[in-house]
Structure 1
């Protein structure tokens, strides 16, 4: 008995370094970011079976063979659509302030739609106003309603949006709903899918999880976009999921979620519709449908200007060859000359963005980061807090919002340029989620977002560097230990 245990222990002792070495070679081969690579090697060294099992599920970014094939099939038509926008709105980049023209070029190079002028844009920060505005637009629809969300949580005013879709379908409006399977799990288990389907609304689960296919693709790649597009002329996007805050996560202990959305009228709404069409084609497998949409777009006249705003829609996600939204955030911060103000619910940045924020503050840029005082994840809370000391030392001002879970994602540079959409400043949004961001090249609108950020600041408490440095040793140990896991969160 003793001999058997000794033999088994010796075998494990010999196999362990071999497992870690082979795993390290795999990490080197796929060229993971250093922080991510070291975190995974640490986990596998400490807990080999758990670590390797987790890596097989979520360690790399394979989108799965079927998804990859569909994306490759749609790519030529998508490129033609981008060229069509360029042809219809020629030399729009020249209308942008010279300092930010390179941002537009970078965004389009990395897979974004071209910037388009002639848009109407309205910022809304009250959930009920937003939801009722969506309902009014759906009720006024003449041809189509396209809905895409990470979360649809039944209850309250969110149910009225469903009723509006049923009314629209009854009028003969083509209604489609694309929802993340995991994020909208409560919706998919409710009576709503049957009700909408029976009314003629088409529904698809995005990023559906197939247990038998997990070895070919990650289970945690999620569709995090928020888009409501009506008649290719009106669209809503931003941070609010299809939820009534009074009925959503009331037991999370963080208060009501605080969000903002924009209502777009004009060519940029057509760009958002195009992004929805691409997502629908990939998730449904109807690649021909996107080609038909392209042919339809070619026949339509160039839309008349609805307003004065110049907007660029930028989708991002793991299907792109580069982490495009990470590059755009980095460029925006490094381009700042006077001021950068950011709001995000989850702050677990990659090394590049973390260094960029410190660098900007050190060269005299007024950098302000607004985050919620409480979030719905302990791991994220500890990981986020682990970055604060270095940011404060560099001169970054950090404010903790006390009026609920601040969920608005915004970045304003020099009160002239704004990034606004669904992207959190964390590893998941930067690398794993399918996100949507609007780049708005306008001082007037940037001023509106800054005014909203000031409202958040009025309900926030600044972190004092001296007080922060005196935190209990155990708290700092928890934070620093969690930071080792940050690349994996």
Structure 2
């Protein structure tokens, strides 16, 4: 046999062997739906070179050995999570809602705690103004963590407030995601904060992008939005540290967010999330923060922090959403900018409507991600046939992540109903039981509903076959994460 033919057969054998190696890896991946494994096998077999490369880059949900070790060491150094915010108030929750908080407990081991109060901020500008006022009034410590932090009007106001606080002796720690806030972290503004005494850290540093690929997925990010002041006040919601005009994606503006200001024991649980992230990136021990006495008990609602991410099981947020959807008896209203659900979530949402629950979900009409927009619309027909009301917000990019249940339970935070949020991002949310605050959140949802147009089955049926084919094809990529 000629040498060229031998070489060709050797290359073919090596090629097939490489494919088989990655097919086996895809089949052996833990914590994956069969659809995800099947999708990766198809990609690897049908597009061998591109498929293998894609699998190397995106096929496995792996933050990297060292980051995971540092996070686990930080969690081990902190006090036990059930103890940081006081005694469990499970007995104060209606019996039918108890399982919801038990699902939350299974994520971080935070118990539901009573004595919390909250204010829903009117809009993005008011949120920044409230944060700045609280930072200016801080006496001991200020902690901030954002996925995206821009050097725009809002971002600079928070920076200046931190610098003022540090100048008067308040311990200020600021963290931003190294990818989402890369422009700020590499700017003079970041250096100025450091020079002013603000302690800084980049969450999940990218480093050399080429080398980073061999250490873990570069697109696993810290998507949390946390502000904690004096161990007594916290903010939770969807807003990054930026103007509603959101300069980096201005053509989709305004970005419409929901943010709430909390006081009470639940603050310590958000502090715990911040501390674990901070200690995973720095050598500073924040455990002494949790030795401070809790505030005197006051009347207030029961709440619990749910923080998903690489340090907890991958199914944390999907299970939380499914539990909430299954618990609905009268009304379920959801706002989310990104909807690429797994099968249990889609089934739970449809089942909610089929059993007579008034089920409504609101998306933005124009999405900053064309991939997510196409994938989301592939699910419309099944939702509408089940009786789910779908509306598309037309007043900007609705970025608010809210869920209200039967007028008494609220989930608010940073998590989207999509696979990236479930499996790749670190998120923070607060689950609470309170009719008064839920009524306020529901009223805000109603504002969004009034500014949204209903999607009808006739509109979906009128969609061209080409568009339907495109949407469904993009949705097939959902499991390929």
Residue 20 of structure 1 corresponds to 19
Deviates more, 1:387-396 or 1:402-411: 387-396
1:290 counterpart = 2:286: yes
Q: Structure 1 stretch 100-109 or stretch 368-377: which is displaced more?
A: 100-109
- The aligned runs of 1:15-414 (5 Å cut-off) are 17-31=16-30, 32-78=32-78, 80-85=80-85, 88-90=86-88, 92-211=89-208, 212-251=211-250, 253-286=251-284, 289-293=285-289, 297-298=290-291, 300-305=292-297, 307-414=299-406
Once the 2 structures are TM-superposed, how far is the Cα of residue 10 of structure 1 from its aligned partner? 6.1
Cα deviation code 1:14-70 (max 9, x no counterpart): 555544333221122123222221222222223222222222222112221211222
1:99 aligned counterpart, secondary structure: helix
Deviates more, 1:110-119 or 1:217-226: 110-119
Quick one: structure 1 residues 18 and 395, their matched pair in 2 at CA, closer, same or farther if it must change by over 3 Å?
farther
Q: TM-score, normalization: structure 1? A: 0.93
Separation in 2, partners of 1:470, 1:420: 35
C-alpha separation between the residues in 2 aligned to 1:444 and 1:5? 78
Aligned mates of 1:220, 1:322 — CA distance in 2: 15
Per mean C-alpha deviation after superposition, the further-off stretch among 400-409 and 348-357 is 348-357
1:335: how far off? Answer: 1.2
Asked if structure 2 preserves the Cα contact closer than 8 Å seen for 1:265 and 1:306, the reply is no
Greater alpha carbon shift after TM alignment, 306-315 vs 5-14: 5-14
Partners of 2:5 and 2:476 lie apart in 1 by 34
Give the whole-Å Cα distance in 2 for the aligned partners of 1:241 and 1:72. Answer: 26
Secondary structure, in 3 states, of the residue corresponding to 2:151? coil
Which stretch of structure 1 is more off in the superposition, 351-360 or 394-403? 351-360
Deviations 1:251-284 (CA, angstroms, capped at 9, x unpaired): 4x32310001000112111221121111100121
- Alpha-carbon distance change, 114 to 151 in structure 1, aligned in 2, over 3 angstroms: same
Partner-residue secondary structure (3-state), 2:463: coil
Moved more, 207-216 or 380-389: 207-216
> How far apart, CA to CA, are the structure 2 residues paired with 1:322 and 1:249?
30
SS at 1:232 equivalent: coil
For the 8 Å contact 1:74–1:290, the answer to whether it is kept is: no
Shift of 1:154: 0.9
Q: Which deviates more, 15-24 or 62-71?
A: 15-24
In structure 2, the CA distance between the partners of 1:246 and 1:9, relative to structure 1 (3 Å rule), is same
Shift of 1:71: 2.4
Q: CA deviation at 1:247?
A: 4.6
Checking the alignment, whether the CA contact within 8 Å between 1:20 and 1:41 is kept in structure 2 is no
- Return 5+ residue gaps in structure 2 as ranges: none
| SS at 1:371 equivalent | strand
CA contact (8 A) 2:142 2:230 kept: yes
- Give 1:285 shift: 4.0
Q: 1:16 to 1:365 in 2, by over 3 A?
A: farther
**Paired residue total:** 477
Worse overlay, 38-47 or 221-230: 38-47
Q: Take 2:42 and 2:395, find their aligned partners in 1: how far apart are those partners?
A: 38
Please list the CA deviations of residues 316-335 of structure 1 after superposition, one character each: whole Å capped at 9, or x if unmatched. 11221342111111111111
Query: Counterpart of 1:215 in 2: which secondary structure?
Result: coil
Q: Is the Cα–Cα contact under 8 Å of residues 212 and 218 in structure 2 kept in the other structure?
A: no
Structure 1 residues not aligned, in runs of 5+: none
CA RMSD of aligned residues (A): 2.0
Q: Summarize the Cα distance change of 1:112–1:81 in structure 2 as closer, same or farther, 3 Å threshold.
A: closer
Instruction: Tell me by how many angstroms 1:447 deviates.
Output: 1.2
Q: SS of the residue aligned with 1:488? A: coil
The answer to whether the 8 A contact 1:250-1:256 is kept is no
Equivalences for 1:463-474 in 2 at 5 Å?
463-474=455-466
Deviations 1:171-217 (A, max 9, x none): 01100111001100121232211110110001111011133243231
**Residues in 2 aligned to 1:376 and 1:119: alpha-carbon distance in whole angstroms:** 35
Once residues 7 and 357 of structure 2 are traced to their aligned partners in structure 1, the CA distance between those partners, rounded to angstroms, is 60
Q: How far apart are residue 453 of structure 1 and its match?
A: 0.7
Secondary structure at the counterpart of residue 321 of structure 1: coil
Q: 1:247 to 1:20 in 2, by over 3 A?
A: closer
Does the Cα contact within 8 Å between 2:149 and 2:241 map onto a contact in 1?
yes
- In 1, Cα distance between equivalents of 2:327 and 2:316: 16
